[in-house]
Structure 1
Amino acid sequence: MNSIPSLITPATKRVMNLSHILRQAARRHGAEIGFVWGECIWSWAELDRRVDAMAAALAAKGIRKGDRVLVQSKNCNQMFESMFSCFRLGAVWVPTNFRQTPDEVAYLAQASGASAMICHSDFPEHAETIREAAPDVRFVISIGRSSFGENYDDLIERHSGQSAPEAAVEHDDPCWFFFTSGTTGRPKAAVLTHGQMAFVITNHLCDLMPGTTNADASLVVTPLSHGAGVHQLVQVARAAKTVLLSGERFDVDEAWSLVARWRITSMFTVPTILKLLTEHPSVDAYDHSSLRYVIYAGAPMYREDQKHALRKLGKVLVQYFGLGEVTGNITVLPPALHDLEDRPDVKVGTCGYERTGMQVSIQDDQGREVPAGVTGEICVCGPAVFAGYYNNPEANQTAFRDGWFRTGDLGHMDEEGFLFITGRASDMYISGGSNIYPREIEEKILAHPAVAEVAVLGVPDRTWGEVGVVVCALRPNQTLDEGELIAWLDGRIAHYKLPKHVFFWDVLPKSAYGKITKKAIREELETKGYLSSGLCRLRS
């Protein structure tokens, strides 16, 4: 039998340079507001001109297609613009978590092979450390006045009216190194590409925010370096304005005032921030009737918190499940499927169904798909899956199996294809020979009226192998002790799942993106000696 010749040729691999979505917005809606930060406002035409000027400045400094540009910055218009300036040149945008230490950011510079840095003036130590530890970084541009680099806005002015042509790019050309560490190890650079991100934008508009137009407005409440940056690309694709909080501190009252002032229609957040937004008194002080999509992701949202948010905001919640490596593109639970009642027809606890163009497979340790209702590892394939980890063949070997990306999350699907996440594979512990999934216990504990936040961890135990430990924070003016909580849980979960010890902290540690970090909790328990000698002591 004659083989079918490949239909893919170099000519058919070319895709739109991702920066072109900004050019499109400027052409069609140039005079309209594109970006708001405090009292400063930029039109789409102004943003496009500034991106052109910065692209010209970077090109004049020798930045070419494929070069990596490290960006250490808080949310600001310059950070937003830097993304498109890099894309326009075919360079790779490498944003950091701005709360990382200088040494941590230096590692990102080394791991990415960055040849330039754009650094906010508030981080001189980071710039100095980069100069010493990453000699391949040829120059630093400073956002704001500083002693360590040329001023970003001076370069914009100097190159005003100039432009660099949009680089020709193919589907798999990288545009963004999305650093992710999962639960263990040093950060890894997930390579996002022009073709992949074009699909992600289209999919977000299809599944998360249908009907988005230039009449819409989006509020940014999380760092643009990660999920919020993906969401703002989606807004640009429809010329919907982006509104930033005025400062780096998350101010709930300001957030709701901006929702009212700018008639915000969508925002991307994480469950802990959504909880803060809906439990703060200001949620009732401002008009938020303009909201259509309040999108939350990044961690499971406990049912009691979900119900509270629904009571405050109505049916505007959108949940999705997706790792950075799949750019948030695995499942969706739209507003219509969020319900206050725990009726038999309501799929309580699901994170939704497969996103358009994506496929989920629940697999056992050998890579075999398991039947509906059986727990296994959540694996995924489709155009939103990243190209792999940069310069890390070992991580790629682990992450992919038979073409499936292995998320490291555990869960099951029902007969209708709705996905239920049990937890991280690394979170599961085995006590007395039984697999125990912390998420189930955390859900039950969150139903207690005194509990605000909770994390359950498995810790070593000489008798049972591992036992469950609860660390929780209480709501204001509430009291609860270990015996009361365990007694309350007895009968609500199987006896073998009952945790053995409970610690009460004022607040649980969180990442820069609002996720409760179990790694930090475990380290704190170890530091205080509660896990010494393989035994968990009772007193906190």
Structure 2
Amino acid sequence: MSSAGSEAANAVAASTHAGGDPKGGVTPVSRRVMNLAYWLTQAARRFPDRPALILERQAVTWRTLDARVHALAAYLASQGVGKGDRVLVHSKNCVAFVETMFAAFRLGAVWVPTNFRIAPDEAAYLAQASGARAVICHAEFPDHARAMAGALPGLGVLLRIGAGDFGLGEQEYADDAATSADRLPDADVEYDDPCWFFFTSGTTGRPKAAVLTHGQMGFVVTNHLCDLMPGTTEQDVSMAVAPLSHGAGIHLLTQVARAAATVLPPDGRFDADRIWRLVSEHRVTNMFTVPTIVKLLVEHPSVDAHDHGSLRYVIYAGAPMYREDQKRALDKLGPVLVQYFGLGEVTGNITVLPPALHRIEDDAAARVGTCGYARTGMQVCIQDEQGQAVEPGVQGEICVCGPAVFAGYYNNPEANAKAFRNGWFRTGDLGHMDAEGFLYITGRASDMYISGGSNVYPREIEEKVLEHPAVAEVAVVGVPDATWGEVGIMVCVPRPGQAIDEAAMMAWLEGRLARYKLPRRVYFWDALPRSGYGKITKKLVRDALHERGIMP
């Protein structure tokens, strides 16, 4: 096993895998599992001429996609990329982005996708933290490419997707990859071999690489097919209205397992009319997105201009949906909503609320506020501070165990120690369950908030703002917002003799933070409230915002 594989597999072995003497007199010989790239091989064998990816004006068949993946894998292998090596990809949704996923899997390498919205220095940190051997970057992001290359003095491969010039001597990712390359066999993998670094900040601080493995992801995809979109076949057509770097990528992988085509809306920009037109043209049957996008889609006039009767599942995750938004969506789309709750560390697999339990009526059967019941094969437990299960209706920390739980954080034993207790993964979210096992999220143990389906971590913003020479102290809190779910409000304390206003601060932050992390408003106070111990707490900041009439 490579060093990356062994480090990841051993990261939380004591917490996630049983050890000791063999049970039942059987000594395990091997934990070999299917390489995830085999799903693409299967689809290309069974349905070579059916569409795999559908773009605005072209379709890529399973045969072509498989051939292009083989060509990319062969090129990476020729450059020394092999099992356990990390392949970082920074790009908007496109065919090449999908190809990088399966090429990495095929080699037994580790796919490291980034959110294309992050700033260049954030991308550089992810490249360095992952120890990437290869970087594949879209031509639209030259500053990101230069920042990542600068953070990786031993970088072996740098590929550019599309026309352009990073000025780094990079190779261009071929638009028509040769199909004559020797067909590489899928690398042999075991259950705990890493396949994907899913970057998440967990509860606080800088992003951490949650290690997803081939064995774990085999379960996750099977679970998605079981709980989120049962009955999916090659006749289905999917659409991912979110970056493929995170949950939408897992959704796409699930479609490949059943040879269902995926529509990729162009440009990465949200356009409600175009999305509804694509749904109608391609008879889309399932869609993955976040509550904010569902709200924008059903409130746009184009929802009534296009036929969306083909939809069977509109799957949303990343945040609870406001009840009024939920009712409006049900009224427009019918009983097709599917909600799931799950962090990156559990790969989305904690709870599900299927279409039959999304009710438009506000009656007892509606279970208003629930995010559903435990996913198949997973167990949810509400625990107190000592790790003991609490009674139904009592609030505690949401903890989970089961095959969808990740292997641990890469190269971060301290974070692993905090994340697991008695074999349970601690989500950091607070909630309670009713007597029938339906989960209700009531708060967060951390200060994280969710804006437009994306996790925002105040400390990350605060650390960036404190780099400004005029700022002495800063606090960021999330507040409710009718459009985005939550947005940030920031309070700064200027340094003595320094002057700065809201417009100047927002201009300074532009380009230093991803747009979804930018606070909605910035206020300047003489001092931040402190506790009796001299500590600045978010509760005191919230109280002060309320007192000043700022907090909604």
TM over 0.5, shorter chain? yes
Bigger relative contact order, structure 1 or 2 (CA pairs below 8 A, ≥6 apart): 2
User: For residues 220 and 472 of structure 1, do their structure 2 counterparts lie closer, same or farther at Cα, with a shift above 3 Å needed?
Assistant: closer
Shift of 1:538: 3.1
| Contact 2:32–2:190 (CA under 8 A) maintained in structure 1 | yes
Shift of 1:131: 1.9
Pairing partner for 1:59 from 63, 77, 80: 77
C-alpha distance after superposition, 1:297-348 (max 9, x if no partner): 1011111110010000000000111001000001111000110111123211
User: For residues 470 and 229 of structure 1, do their structure 2 counterparts lie closer, same or farther at Cα, with a shift above 3 Å needed?
Assistant: closer
Q: How does 1:439-478 map to 2 (within 5 A)?
A: 472=481
CA distance in 1 between counterparts of 2:61 and 2:314 reads 25
| Contact 1:214–1:238 (CA under 8 A) maintained in structure 2 | yes
**Does residue 1:198 correspond to 2:208, yes or no?**
no
User: For residues 9 and 183 of structure 1, do their structure 2 counterparts lie closer, same or farther at Cα, with a shift above 3 Å needed?
Assistant: closer
User: For residues 60 and 385 of structure 1, do their structure 2 counterparts lie closer, same or farther at Cα, with a shift above 3 Å needed?
Assistant: same
| Contact 1:140–1:150 (CA under 8 A) maintained in structure 2 | yes
Shift of 1:520: 4.9
Pairing partner for 2:249 from 211, 220, 229: 229
Match of 1:329 in 2: 349
CA distance in 2 between counterparts of 1:530 and 1:107 reads 32
CA distance in 1 between counterparts of 2:134 and 2:478 reads 45
Match of 2:428 in 1: 408
CA distance in 2 between counterparts of 1:120 and 1:264 reads 27
Shift of 1:18: 0.3
User: For residues 333 and 106 of structure 1, do their structure 2 counterparts lie closer, same or farther at Cα, with a shift above 3 Å needed?
Assistant: same
Match of 1:317 in 2: 337
Q: How does 1:270-419 map to 2 (within 5 A)?
A: 270-419=290-439
| Contact 2:70–2:103 (CA under 8 A) maintained in structure 1 | yes
- 2:209 is paired with a residue of what secondary structure? strand
- 2:59 is paired with a residue of what secondary structure? strand
User: For residues 32 and 4 of structure 1, do their structure 2 counterparts lie closer, same or farther at Cα, with a shift above 3 Å needed?
Assistant: closer
- 2:206 is paired with a residue of what secondary structure? coil
**Does residue 1:173 correspond to 2:193, yes or no?**
yes
CA distance in 1 between counterparts of 2:437 and 2:480 reads 33
Code of the residue aligned with 1:318 in structure 2: it is: V
**Does residue 1:538 correspond to 2:548, yes or no?**
yes
Match of 1:9 in 2: 28
C-alpha distance after superposition, 1:482-519 (max 9, x if no partner): xxxxxxxxxxxxxxxxxxxxxxxxxxxxxxxxx997x7
User: For residues 26 and 471 of structure 1, do their structure 2 counterparts lie closer, same or farther at Cα, with a shift above 3 Å needed?
Assistant: closer
Match of 1:153 in 2: 174
Shift of 1:161: 3.5
CA distance in 2 between counterparts of 1:212 and 1:272 reads 25
Match of 1:510 in 2: none
Q: How does 1:425-444 map to 2 (within 5 A)?
A: 425-427=445-447
Match of 2:488 in 1: none
User: For residues 470 and 54 of structure 1, do their structure 2 counterparts lie closer, same or farther at Cα, with a shift above 3 Å needed?
Assistant: closer
Match of 2:93 in 1: 75
User: For residues 401 and 531 of structure 1, do their structure 2 counterparts lie closer, same or farther at Cα, with a shift above 3 Å needed?
Assistant: farther
Shift of 1:146: 2.6
Match of 1:42 in 2: 60
| Contact 1:412–1:420 (CA under 8 A) maintained in structure 2 | yes
CA distance in 2 between counterparts of 1:112 and 1:240 reads 32
CA distance in 2 between counterparts of 1:473 and 1:336 reads 26
User: For residues 418 and 539 of structure 1, do their structure 2 counterparts lie closer, same or farther at Cα, with a shift above 3 Å needed?
Assistant: closer
Match of 1:502 in 2: none
Pairing partner for 2:523 from 524, 528, 535: 528
Match of 1:494 in 2: none
Provide the alpha-carbon RMSD of the alignment. Answer: 2.6
Match of 1:461 in 2: none
- 1:360 is paired with a residue of what secondary structure? strand
User: For residues 335 and 472 of structure 1, do their structure 2 counterparts lie closer, same or farther at Cα, with a shift above 3 Å needed?
Assistant: closer
**Does residue 1:21 correspond to 2:24, yes or no?**
no
Code of the residue aligned with 2:94 in structure 1: it is: C
Shift of 1:10: 3.8
| Contact 2:203–2:447 (CA under 8 A) maintained in structure 1 | no
Match of 2:461 in 1: none
- 1:268 is paired with a residue of what secondary structure? strand
Shift of 1:424: 1.2
| Contact 2:198–2:210 (CA under 8 A) maintained in structure 1 | yes
Structure 2 stretches of 5 or more lacking a match? 1-20, 459-474, 485-513, 530-543
CA distance in 1 between counterparts of 2:177 and 2:26 reads 43
CA distance in 2 between counterparts of 1:190 and 1:412 reads 26
Pairing partner for 1:139 from 150, 153, 157: 157
Shift of 1:472: 4.2
Question: Which range moved further: 174-183 or 401-410?
Answer: 174-183
What is the number of residues matched between the two proteins?
461
Pairing partner for 2:233 from 206, 210, 213: 213
User: For residues 70 and 516 of structure 1, do their structure 2 counterparts lie closer, same or farther at Cα, with a shift above 3 Å needed?
Assistant: closer
Shift of 1:469: 9.0
User: For residues 8 and 48 of structure 1, do their structure 2 counterparts lie closer, same or farther at Cα, with a shift above 3 Å needed?
Assistant: farther
Structure 1 stretches of 5 or more lacking a match? 429-437, 443-454, 458-465, 476-514
Give TM-score scaled by structure 2 length.
0.79
| Contact 2:123–2:144 (CA under 8 A) maintained in structure 1 | yes
CA distance in 2 between counterparts of 1:220 and 1:72 reads 18
Shift of 1:5: 6.4
C-alpha distance after superposition, 1:46-65 (max 9, x if no partner): 10011011100100011010
CA distance in 2 between counterparts of 1:56 and 1:531 reads 60
Pairing partner for 1:115 from 120, 127, 133: 133
Code of the residue aligned with 1:131 in structure 2: it is: A
- 1:345 is paired with a residue of what secondary structure? helix
| Contact 2:431–2:442 (CA under 8 A) maintained in structure 1 | yes
Give TM-score scaled by structure 1 length.
0.81
